[in-house]
């Protein structure tokens, strides 16, 4: 298994440093891990059950038994047992041929989100920023090679893909992702750049590892990232780090704007000062803790 397993950076308090392993950068949706890398305590049946759940996504909300078996690498018999168990537990629905997730599956993600202080602390500051700049604002954390949205205050929709809490994007092509990547230890970043599949999401996407490394060094030095239409044409995004008590980056906050608002430099001048101020206020409240 790859060593690229940074913890989800948002935790109960900003000072928490608990590291929990998560899926590596290049493990495909629903696929299983390398048996040789497993610890003696590894529970294979749990991994397989989670792989079945992860086989479903926005592009594949309904799957046949064969689809699930193919996506996860399980045999049809094993996939069938896991699916029927999930049906009996109320997490999956079936009409006899097609399977789909039921709303109860949200309980699994909510258990994580409800344990966080970050979204609750950040929300009012994000709302104030949106009211000031009239652009959408989000907070995300790093999970392997992806950013995961943990809080969002939208304005008008400017992307073709809807964004909500739980949405994932590849870190290399997003402003928040680059802020988070730039904060990773050197050896982790070396492994990431060696293993990550840097696909061209638009004609502007940086796909050369050496060039991305240079970009990340600049971000680490200047303290913010701006991405110009690399995730989606017509979308510009500006992000800043959110730091914990020990100074480590635990999350990122961004604002996104349509390219018609102005050039990258115009957006930087208009949005960076209020964005940095918002990040600072979130950090201050996180440091104050639950007594605030």
For the chain, what is the HEC assignment?
Answer: CCCCCCCCCCCCCCCCCCCCCCCCCCCCCCCCCCHHHCCCCCCHHHHHHHHHHHCCECCECEEEHHHHHHHHCCCHHHHHHHHHHHHHHCCEEECCCEEEECHHHHHHHHHHHCCCCHHHHHHHHHHHHHHHHCCEEEEEEEECCEEEEEEEECCCCCCCCCCCCCCEEEHHHCHHHHHHHHCCCHHHHHHHHHHCCCCCCCCCCCCCHHHHHHHHHHHHHHCCEEEECCCCCCEEEEEEEEECCCCCEEEEEEEEEEHHHCCHHHHHHHHHHHHHHHHHHHHHHHHHHHHC
Q: Which residues pair with 240 in a beta bridge?
A: 253
pLDDT at 290: 54
How many CB atoms are closer than 10 A to CB 186?
7
Four-residue CA torsion sign, 109, 112, 117, 122: negative
Token pair of 92, please? 């999956």
pLDDT at 213: 96
Pairing of strands 92-94, 62-64: unpaired
Question: In the block, which residue shows the tokens 């303290």?
Answer: 223
Token pair of 185, please? 């230890």
Extract the residue ranges of the chain whose pLDDT is less than 50. 1-3, 7-28, 291-292
pLDDT at 1: 42
pLDDT at 18: 30
Q: Which of 254, 244, 248 is nearest to 285 (CA)?
A: 244
Q: Which of 174, 209, 9, 75 is nearest to 65 (CA)?
A: 75
Note whether 147 and 171 are within 8 A (CB).
yes
Edge-to-edge strands of the sheet including 146-153? Answer: 168-170, 146-153, 136-143, 249-258, 235-243, 225-228
pLDDT at 275: 97
pLDDT at 9: 41
Token pair of 219, please? 């971000």
């Amino acid at each position: 298994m790859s060593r690229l397993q940074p913890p989800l950076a948002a935790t109960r308090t900003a000072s928490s440093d608990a590291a929990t392993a998560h899926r590596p950068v290049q493990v495909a949706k629903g696929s299983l891990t390398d048996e040789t890398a497993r610890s003696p305590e590894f529970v294979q049946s749990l991994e397989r059950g989670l792989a079945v759940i992860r086989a479903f996504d926005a592009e594949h909300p309904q799957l046949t038994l064969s689809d699930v078996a193919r996506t996860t690498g399980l045999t049809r018999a094993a996939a069938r047992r896991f699916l029927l168990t999930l049906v009996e537990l109320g997490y999956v629905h079936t009409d006899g041929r097609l399977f789909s997730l039921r709303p109860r599956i949200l309980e699994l993600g909510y258990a994580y989100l409800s344990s966080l202080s970050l979204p609750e602390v950040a929300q009012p500051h994000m709302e104030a920023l949106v009211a000031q700049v009239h652009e959408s604002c989000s907070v995300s954390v790093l999970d392997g090679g992806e950013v995961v949205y943990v809080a969002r205050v939208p304005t008008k929709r400017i992307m073709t893909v809807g964004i909500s809490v739980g949405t994932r994007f590849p870190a290399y092509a997003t402003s928040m992702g680059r802020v988070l990547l730039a904060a990773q230890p050197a050896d982790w970043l070396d492994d990431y750049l060696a293993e990550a599949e840097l696909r061209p999401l638009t004609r502007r996407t940086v796909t050369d590892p050496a060039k991305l490394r240079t970009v990340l060094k600049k971000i680490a030095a200047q303290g913010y990232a701006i991405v110009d239409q690399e995730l989606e044409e017509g979308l510009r995004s500006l992000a800043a780090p959110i730091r914990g008590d020990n100074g480590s980056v635990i999350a990122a906050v961004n604002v996104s704007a349509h390219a018609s608002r102005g050039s990258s430099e115009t957006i930087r001048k208009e949005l960076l000062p209020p964005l940095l101020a918002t990040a600072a206020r979130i950090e201050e409240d996180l440091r104050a803790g639950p007594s605030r």
